[in-house]
Amino acid sequence: MNGGAADAENNKNGDIGLELRKFHLVKKGIRAFAVAETFNKFDKRSTLAGVVMRRDMIVDGLVFGTATTEGNDSTENILSMFKSLNRNDVNCIMLNGLVISMFNIIDGKKLMHETQLPIIALTFHDSEGLGNSIREHFPLDAEKKLLQYANLGERDRVTLKTGKSVFIRHWGLTLKNAIMVLDSFTLQGSIPEPIRIAKLAARAGAKK
C-alpha cells in the first residue's frame, strides 16, 4: 500500500494521526488490550472481561466490567475498564465485536479518540447486517440504534496467516497494519489469543 492510499484509508476510518504511535510491530513487547463479553438473554447486565496480553502471549493484566443488555453504556464502561488499569504501555485495543449485550453498540471511533490508541474490532461470520434485527427488537425506538449501527461503517473481510477469514472494522491504523497485528497475536484458527483469553475470563467471571 503506497503512502497516499494509506493516508486515504486512515482518513476513512477517522484516523487522528495515531498510526503506529508507540507501535513497533517487530517488538515482542507490544501489548493489546482485548475485551470480550458473555451474557444470558435473561440477564439485565452482561459480564465484560479485559485482558492485557504481550505479543509473546504473556498475560499481564485483567479487569472485569459490565454492560446493560439493550443499553447504551458499553463504550463508557469499556473506557472505565481500560482507565482502571492505569497502563501506559498498551499499544492497541481489540474488541470481540461492536454490537454486544443485545444491541449495546460500542463506538470504536470514540474509543480511539478517548484512549489515543488504534482499535480493531472482529467478528467471525458473514451477514447482511443487523438493521432488520434492530428494527424488530426495538419496534418503537429503533432510530437511535440504527444510527449508532450505521456509524460503525462497513466491515473488511481479511484472511489471517492461518488461512482463516475474519471480518474487521478498524480505527487509527491501516488495514494492512491491522492484519499484521492480528497475525502477530493469532496462533491457530481465527481467534487472536487476547480475544480468546478475554472470552474465557468473561465466562469464568459470570459464574461467580
Please, are residues 39 and 195 in contact by the beta-carbon 8 Å criterion? Answer: no
Residue pair 94/122 in contact (Cβ under 8 Å)? The answer is yes
| Per-residue pLDDT at 40 | 83
Output the pLDDT for position 11.
43
C-alpha atoms less than 13 angstroms from C-alpha of 49 in its C-beta half-sphere: 23
Please state, for a pLDDT cut of 70, what percent of the chain lies above it: 86
Calculated CA dihedral for residues 96, 98, 103, 104, nearest 10 degrees: 100
Strand (E) or helix (H) holding 50:
strand 45-54
Tens-digit pLDDT profile for residues 164-176: 999 999 999 999 9
List, as one string, the DSSP characters of 126-159: --S-SHHHHHHH-TTS-HHHHHHHHTT---EEEE
Residue 5 has pLDDT above 50, yes or no: no
pLDDT digits (tens, 9 = 90+) for 19-44: 545 455 556 678 999 999 998 878 89
pLDDT of residue 29: 72
Give me the CATH code for the 3-18+30-206 domain, please.
3.30.2170.10
Q: Would you say 53 and 193 are in contact if contact means Cβ atoms under 8 Å apart?
A: yes
pLDDT tens track for 87-144: 999 999 999 999 999 999 999 999 999 999 999 999 999 888 899 999 998 988 899 9
Residue 128: per-residue pLDDT = 83
> What are the angstrom distances between the C-alpha of 179 and each of 4, 6, 106, 128?
19, 14, 21, 23
pLDDT of residue 127: 85
User: What is the predicted pLDDT for the residue at 207?
Assistant: 73
- Residue located via cell numbers 453498540: 105
What pLDDT score does 20 carry?
45
The pLDDT tens digits for 47-84 are 999 999 999 999 999 999 999 999 999 999 999 999 99
C-alpha cell at 204: 469464568
